[in-house]
Structure formats: structure tokens, C-alpha cells
């Protein structure tokens, strides 16, 4: 059976006109998912099976229209269908049921929010239209809610990425005692690493409003066990006289220009203890990184949604690491669409 969805459109040009037509309608796939999330289809099904008529009657919906949506969700593999009854499939049960540990609804809602920004791509190319800027008249509470939604969304994905990373991280020179999660949002990577090394302690550094959102998402004292939250800018971390055995830069460098990224890497390297390691997690455009097309599209995402961010070529990252004295590094693609770089001081 042919794989449904945009995954088969990775290289449309050689495949002819049908691949181009599929590419032009690729947004239909995400619209089906977004509609199901807005209608709470996955939550309404829960762990039971229902007919379209049963679901429609409970909500006073149009049953024939709902049947057609459920059939599309089944063809996409999100629902299972049998004798006119629909149930959540394995992916939906894990990632689309509210309250589940790996729930991704907030992250997907954020993806829907930024989807409209892609319509600005021609203007961005023609005119250099700047990324979205905060409206100075925006009420403080609205800004707080916007930051909270952003941090919540990215934390959901970061927890899954960190779990993938831990399976492929490999051995470090020694178990880290001090971990710095630089620009780490709500601290998903920090918590995952501390769970792996129970004797370690972590520092989570990010902007004040981001840490306020993190505390709202993780209000319990146990959520912050062995984690020190430090307010600051990742470009100028005020951590003088401190050193760390492991420093994490996850989905961080692509937010900044090459010059800014070079500075972040250099300042992070200066905070490493002897035999310390720098862990970079990011999207890349090279074939050996595992998902080059996603990296290229993410680069456009940065063009549209940041002031000067970009996906940095692997060769550029290697130069940054060498300039920071971290010439000993290895690349480890993740099973999803991003990659790890683990760097140490050059031993030569």
C-alpha cells in the first residue's frame, strides 16, 4: 500500500505531473488533522469505538459530513475502521488523547497557528518583510498567554525529541554532574537528562517570560527537583565562575544568524568543564543528517518566523565548533527529522 501523506512527495520533479498535483494539495492532509483536533474527534472517541451517527447525534452535527471526515482520518491511519465503527489508531492513542504523557495536541495547534505565516513567503522574498513583531499595544495578559501557548507547544515536542536523543546519545566521557540547558524553554531536555543521571544537577536558562510560563506548566516542587532556573539571554549567559559537564543547545541555533550562533557556541564552550561535552540538537539540510528536505523547509520556516534565523549548514557548524576548541564531534541522526551533534574539546 502506498504511504499516504506528504512523505512520498520528497522529490516530486522526476515523478511527473501527478507528484506536482499532490504537492499542490499537500495542505489537505494537515487540514483534515486540524479539523479533527478542532472537533475533538480523538478525545470524543477515547478508547471506545463509535459510529458516525453516534458521534453526530451527541453533538447535533451533520452525520454524512462527519462520516466522510472519519473515513479520511481512517485512510490516513489515525483512526481504525471496522463495520462502520471508528476507533483511535495507535498514533492517535499515544499522541492525540488529552492527558496522555505524549499528547501533542498543543504542539499541533501551534503548527496550525503558524501555518498562515507561509502565505507571506513571496512577500518575504520580494521585499524582505520582517518576521512577526509584538504589537506594542498588545495587553500584557495577551502576551503572557501567547508565550504560554508557545512554550507549552514546544515542550510537548521537546519531550519526545529528548527521549529519542537519549537512545542514541551513546557514552559520555563520564556521567555529567552539572548540566546546562541553554535556552531550554520549559526544561524538557534538562528533565530527561536528569532522569538518566540521578546524581546530576541542572541549570535551565531562558528569558524571564519563558521561565514564568515554565513554572505555570510545571507548578509542583518536584518538577524542579535538582533544577535551578536562571533568567537570562542565551546569547549572553551570565554564569561567570561556573562550569558544566554537559551543555545542551536544543532547537536554539536555528533561531539566530550565523554570527550570533557562532557567539552562542563560543560562550557555551567557555562554560564547559575539562572533558565536558556540548550537545547540539537541530534540523540540518545534509543527506547524512537524515531528513534534508525537512531541514530545508524548516529553514524557510525560520525565514518567515524569526528576525534572522536559519538552518546552519553542517560545514558551518563544524567551523564554529573548531573555532570554539571543540573539534572532536560526531553526528547522530534521530529517527524523526532532526539530528544530534556531540562535541568535545579537540584532543589533537
Of all residues in the chain, the percent with pLDDT exceeding 70 is: 93
Q: How confident is the model at residue 11 (pLDDT cuts 50, 70, 90)?
A: low
Residue 16: predicted pLDDT = 81
Does residue 3 carry a pLDDT above 60? no
Q: What is the DSSP string of 245-307?
A: EEEEEES-GGGS-HHHHHHHHHHHHHTEEEEEEEEEEE---SGGGS-HHHHHHHHHHHHHHSS
Q: Which residues contact 116 (CB under 8 A, 6 or more apart)?
A: none
Residue 1: predicted pLDDT = 42
| Average of per-residue pLDDT across 122-149 | 83
pLDDT tens profile 68-96: 999 999 999 999 999 999 999 999 999 99
Does residue 203 carry a pLDDT above 60? yes
Cβ contact 325:269 at 8 Å: yes
Q: Which residues contact 211 (CB under 8 A, 6 or more apart)?
A: 204, 229, 231
- The conformational region for residue 183 under phi > 0 = left, psi -120 to 50 = alpha, else beta, is left
Q: May I ask the CATH architecture of the domain 6-112?
A: Orthogonal Bundle (1.10)
Residues of the chain with CATH 3.40.50.150: 172-344
Does residue 149 carry a pLDDT above 80? yes
Task: Measure the CA–CA gap between 46 and 61, rounded to whole angstroms.
Answer: 18
Does residue 277 carry a pLDDT above 70? yes
User: Angle CA(320)–CA(324)–CA(329) in degrees, nearest 5?
Assistant: 70
Cβ contact 84:55 at 8 Å: no
| Average of per-residue pLDDT across 223-233 | 97
Compute and round to an integer the Cα radius of gyration of the chain: 22
Specify the range with the lowest mean pLDDT, choosing from 11-20, 118-127, 276-285: 11-20
Residue 172: predicted pLDDT = 86
Q: Which of 264, 250, 261 shows the shortest CA–CA distance to 316?
A: 261
Domain 172-344 has CATH 3.40.190.10: no
Mean pLDDT (the chain) is 93
Q: How confident is the model at residue 12 (pLDDT cuts 50, 70, 90)?
A: low
Three cell numbers, residue 143: 502576551
Regarding pTM above 0.85, the answer is yes
Does residue 344 carry a pLDDT above 70? yes
Cβ contact 227:204 at 8 Å: yes
Three cell numbers, residue 207: 528569558
Helices 258-270 and 314-323: crossing angle, nearest 10°?
Answer: 40
Does residue 55 carry a pLDDT above 90? yes
Cβ contact 104:96 at 8 Å: yes
Task: Measure the CA–CA gap between 198 and 201, rounded to whole angstroms.
Answer: 8
Specify the range with the lowest mean pLDDT, choosing from 12-16, 142-146, 178-182, 258-262: 12-16
CA atoms lying within 13 Å on the CB side of residue 103: 13
Does residue 6 carry a pLDDT above 90? no
Residue 97 DSSP code: S
User: Angle CA(41)–CA(146)–CA(39) in degrees, nearest 5?
Assistant: 10
pLDDT tens profile 312-336: 999 999 999 999 999 999 999 999 9
Task: Measure the CA–CA gap between 280 and 3, rounded to whole angstroms.
Answer: 31
Q: Which residues contact 234 (CB under 8 A, 6 or more apart)?
A: 182, 183, 205, 206, 252, 264
Per DSSP, the three-state class of 329 is strand
Q: How confident is the model at residue 171 (pLDDT cuts 50, 70, 90)?
A: confident
Cβ contact 230:239 at 8 Å: yes
Greatest alpha-carbon pair distance for the chain in Å reads 71
Amino acid at each position: 500500500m502506498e504511504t499516504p501523506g506528504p512523505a512520498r512527495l520528497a522529490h516530486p520533479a522526476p515523478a511527473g505531473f501527478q507528484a506536482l498535483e499532490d504537492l499542490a494539495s499537500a495542505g489537505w492532509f494537515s487540514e483534515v488533522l486540524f479539523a479533527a483536533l478542532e472537533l475533538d474527534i480523538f478525545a470524543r472517541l477515547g478508547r471506545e469505538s463509535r459510529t458516525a451517527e453516534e458521534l453526530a447525534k451527541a453533538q447535533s452535527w451533520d452525520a454524512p459530513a462527519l462520516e466522510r471526515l472519519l473515513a479520511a482520518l481512517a485512510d490516513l491511519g489515525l483512526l481504525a475502521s471496522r463495520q462502520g465503527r471508528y476507533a483511535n489508531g495507535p498514533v492517535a492513542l499515544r499522541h492525540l488523547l488529552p492527558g496522555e504523557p505524549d499528547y501533542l495536541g498543543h504542539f499541533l495547534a501551534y503548527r496550525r497557528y503558524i501555518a498562515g505565516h507561509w502565505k507571506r513567503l513571496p512577500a518575504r522574498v520580494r521585499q524582505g518583510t520582517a518576521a512577526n513583531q509584538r504589537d506594542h499595544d498588545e495587553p500584557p495578559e495577551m502576551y503572557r498567554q501567547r508565550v504560554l501557548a508557545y512554550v507549552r507547544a514546544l515542550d510537548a515536542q521537546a519531550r519526545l525529541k529528548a527521549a529519542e536523543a537519549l537512545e542514541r546519545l551513546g557514552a559520555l566521557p563520564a556521567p555529567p554532574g552539572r548540566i546546562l540547558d541553554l535556552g531550554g524553554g520549559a526544561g524538557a531536555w534538562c528533565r530527561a537528562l536528569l532522569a538518566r543521571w540521578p546524581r546530576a544537577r541542572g541549570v535551565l536558562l531562558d528569558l524571564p517570560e519563558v521561565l514564568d510560563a515554565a513554572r505555570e506548566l510545571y507548578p509542583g516542587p518536584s518538577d524542579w527537583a535538582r533544577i535551578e532556573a536562571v533568567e537570562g539571554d542565551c546569547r549572553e549567559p551570565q554564569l561567570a565562575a561556573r562550569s558544566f559537564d554537559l551543555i545542551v543547545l536544543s532547537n536554539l541555533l536555528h533561531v539566530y544568524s550565523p554570527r550570533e550562533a557562532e557567539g552562542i557556541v563560543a560562550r557555551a564552550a567557555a562554560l564547559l568543564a575539562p572533558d565536558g561535552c556540548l550537545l547540539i540538537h537541530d534540523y540540518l539540510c545534509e543527506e547524512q543528517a537524515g531528513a534534508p528536505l525537512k531541514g530545508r523547509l524548516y529553514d524557510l520556516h525560520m525565514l518567515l518566523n524569526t528576525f534572522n534565523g536559519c538552518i546552519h549548514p553542517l560545514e558551518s557548524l563544524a567551523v564554529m565548533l573548531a573555532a570554539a576548541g571543540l573539534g572532536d564531534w560526531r553526528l547522530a541522526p534521530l529517527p524523526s527529522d532532526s539530528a544530534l551533534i556531540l562535541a568535545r574539546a579537540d584532543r589533537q
